[in-house]
Amino acid sequence: AQKVTQAQTEISVVEKEDVTLDCVYETRDTTYYLFWYKQPPSGELVFLIRRNSFDEQNEISGRYSWNFQKSTSSFNFTITASQVVDSAVYFCALSQTGNQFYFGTGTSLTVIP
């Protein structure tokens, strides 16, 4: 069975602090894809990153970085020097095929000025 767990329901940090959002997944497939999405108050989920199961290199994009560890089935997301605009709900997702995606329950991040 496929499953994505985001254990952190809500996180609050003060602006400029670093914050890590956890994502743990379950799958029996050897080929799969992991995603992170951001949902601001407007409602639209915005794609942040896609990672396939054969690429365990960590990735950095500006203040965002992702740590993919197959050994622990985790795909954690870190925001460095957080800003108020980072306040949103963040979703982790898993997919093996082209049209079936499994989402976590999301982590609501509040960055306090």
Q: Which residues bind another protein (CB under 8 A)?
A: 4, 9, 33, 35, 37, 42-47, 50, 52, 91, 95-106
Query: Which of 17/29 has CB closer to another protein?
Result: 29
Shortest Å, Cβ 36 to another protein: 10
Query: Which of 37/76 has CB closer to another protein?
Result: 37
Q: Rounded to an integer, what distance in angstroms lies between the CA atom of residue 35 and that of residue 12?
A: 22
Query: Which of 17/55 has CB closer to another protein?
Result: 55
Shortest Å, Cβ 30 to another protein: 14
Q: Rounded to an integer, what distance in angstroms lies between the CA atom of residue 102 and that of residue 5?
A: 10
CA proximity to 75, closest of 45, 98, 96, 104: 104
Shortest Å, Cβ 4 to another protein: 7
Residues 6+ positions from 95 with CB-CB distance below 8 Å: 32, 33, 35, 101, 102
